[in-house]
Amino acid sequence: MPELPEVEVTRLSFAPGIRGATIRSASLGKPLRWPLGIAPQQLVGQQVLGVRRRGKYLLIDLSEGLLLLHLGMSGSVIFASAQAEPGKHDHFDLHTSQGTLRLNDPRRFGAVVFASSQDDPEANKLLGRLGVEPLGEDFDGAAFYEGLQQRKTAIKQVLLAGEVVVGVGNIYASEALFIAGIRPTTRANRLSRPRVRKLQDAICTVLARAVEKGGSTLRDFSNAQGESGHFQLEAMVYARQGEPCRQCGTAIKSIKQGQRSTFFCPQCQKP
């Protein structure tokens, strides 16, 4: 599943090229997770003002409204001056004066939704409960600590929920907790201020590094130019169960938390 770094890498790979473009047409394939909300023809003539990101959502600002694009479990976008005829897994094309943006999603858990503004109830339904952005200036250590103090569940689960801090998905939660030396099963409200500060720094470090490396390509992720990511090659614990810890040599363990695989070093990460 594309996580925050993959979504940010995707944004960076097509935002400059589509900025300022005029929409010439839009077309839909098979139904996605949520409906577009308007007839595709209503997008014609609008100008693309820019592309932002909120959590794992891409926000395409238009001259009148915005499109919220989510990649779901297996989605990716391609932006090119010319595209072949849509295939069976191509479900949305946005044809502009500067190229075509295409959403490919084999499992169809992704979506493209129109909203009149970010304050629109439709947008608020998707974005309203998202936590603070971990790569932004608003990621405040004191607020992060207070948010964790209110959660009695395991810290890994709190990170995945996205209500305290958004976008720290499964891969990067495992990696950040390793760097911070925190066992994934530790209750969030048991973490001291110094440990929370280490975790905050680790989250920022891991996510920034993942963006720098183009994200993680575990199966088929690629950015809007078709380029794969390479962060997975330097993962410390993720998907390394049974292999020696790169730091102490102890075998990496894997457990299930909320039906997701969690990876950690039993020696380096303390409860």
Same domain, 191 and 215: yes
Distance CA 225, CA 131 (A): 29
The letter for the amino acid at 257 is: Q
Same domain, 185 and 215: yes
Q: What is the pLDDT of residue 225?
A: 87
pTM for the model: 0.92
Q: What is the CATH number of the domain that holds 68?
A: 3.20.190.10
Same domain, 123 and 164: no
Phi, psi of 11 (to 5 degrees): -60, -50
Same domain, 122 and 171: no
pLDDT tens digits for range 41-77: 999 999 999 999 999 999 999 999 999 999 998 899 9
Residue 78 pLDDT > 70, yes or no?
A: yes
Distance CA 167, CA 163 (A): 9
- Is 92 within the bounds of a domain? yes
Q: What is the pLDDT of residue 226?
A: 83
Confidence band for 16, pLDDT divided at 50, 70 and 90: very high
Sign of CA dihedral 262, 226, 224, 233: positive
Active site residues per annotation: 2-3, 56, 260
Same domain, 145 and 122: no
Which ranges constitute the DSSP H helices of 87-140?
A: 121-127
Q: By three-state DSSP, how is residue 57 classified?
A: strand
pLDDT over 70 percentage in the chain: 99
Q: Residues near 46 by Cβ (< 8 Å), separated by ≥ 6?
A: 22, 23, 62, 63, 64, 65
Residue 253 pLDDT > 90, yes or no?
A: yes
Q: What is the pLDDT of residue 192?
A: 98
Q: Averaged over 184-209, what is the pLDDT?
A: 98
Report the first-to-last Cα separation within the chain, whole angstroms.
Answer: 28
Same domain, 29 and 102: yes
Its domain, for residue 49, covers 4-127
